[in-house]
């Protein structure tokens, strides 16, 4: 059983909880290794369609890298999948929802930036304070944040290390929805269930094509490119089932393949 995270499956939804509340859910290498294994299992399970990531307790989603662990002289390294097993996981075709229950700082914020949808408690706050301790946001933050909210707003956060509260994060485009703390997991689950109403193949295709398209310089190039995910969609059982269920006025029976 994992020591530093909890994994639960309910229907097609997997919930991964960072479980180090005594240190504000800070991540050290053993926690990263366990989280990487959890995401490996999520990707490998054909019946797991959506993941929700959150933190244990009500104070922190994750305070980021465990600096005390690092300061004690321990070797600090991440798996090939990146910090917390997710920040370098560019093959994550399945959607991941961040349910941010409190502080999301440094690497914790970088986990959030690696997710597709972000639901935040009214008590949540976000920031990349690495420059304040002589470090840099090297787990994707320096690159994801400018791409997600624009250069000037990102530089305002990156160069000062300042935090933004949930409402400002929503205005910046970091957060999809801000909710009361007691509603956080139920609203995150509502989003996950809405995704599960769609074809899993269509969802994976949509995510992959949208992200891969960003690598092209122009809209025309992006739309003209060939995407393997589209080839897989056209060959899938869901591609047949969707129109058939619509014509027969019934709920689709998605196979996810």
Please identify every residue annotated as catalytic.
110, 130
Confirm if 93 and 232 have CB atoms less than 8 A apart.
no
Q: Helix 141-149 crosses helix 151-158 at what angle (to 10 degrees)?
A: 140
Tokens of 110: 């970088």
Angular region, 11: left φ>0, alpha ψ -120 to 50, beta rest: left
d(CA 129, CA 175): 19
């Amino acid at each position: 059983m994992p020591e530093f995270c909890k994994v639960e499956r309910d229907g097609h939804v997997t919930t991964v909880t960072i479980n180090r509340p005594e240190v504000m859910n800070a991540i050290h290498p053993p926690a990263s290794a366990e989280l990487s294994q959890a995401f490996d299992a999520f990707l490998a399970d054909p019946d797991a369609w959506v993941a929700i990531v959150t933190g244990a307790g009500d104070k922190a989603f994750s305070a980021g890298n465990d600096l005390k662990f690092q300061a004690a002289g321990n070797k600090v390294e991440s798996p090939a999948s990146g910090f917390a097993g997710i920040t370098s996981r560019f093959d994550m075709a399945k959607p991941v929802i961040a349910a941010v229950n409190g502080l999301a700082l440094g690497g914790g914020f970088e986990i959030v930036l690696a997710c597709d949808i972000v639901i935040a408690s009214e008590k949540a706050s976000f920031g990349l304070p690495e420059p304040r301790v002589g470090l840099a946001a090297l787990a994707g933050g320096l690159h994801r944040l400018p791409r997600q909210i624009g250069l000037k707003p990102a530089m305002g956060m990156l160069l000062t290390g300042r935090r933004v509260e949930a409402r400002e994060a929503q205005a910046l485009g970091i957060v999809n929805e801000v909710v009361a703390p007691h509603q956080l997991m139920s609203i995150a689950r509502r989003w996950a269930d809405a995704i599960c109403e769609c074809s899993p193949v269509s969802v994976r295709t949509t995510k992959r094509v949208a992200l891969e398209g960003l690598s092209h310089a122009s809209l025309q190039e992006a739309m003209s490119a060939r995407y393997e995910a589209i080839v897989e969609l056209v060959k899938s059982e869901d591609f047949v089932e969707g129109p058939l269920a619509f014509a027969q006025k019934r709920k689709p029976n998605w196979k996810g393949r």
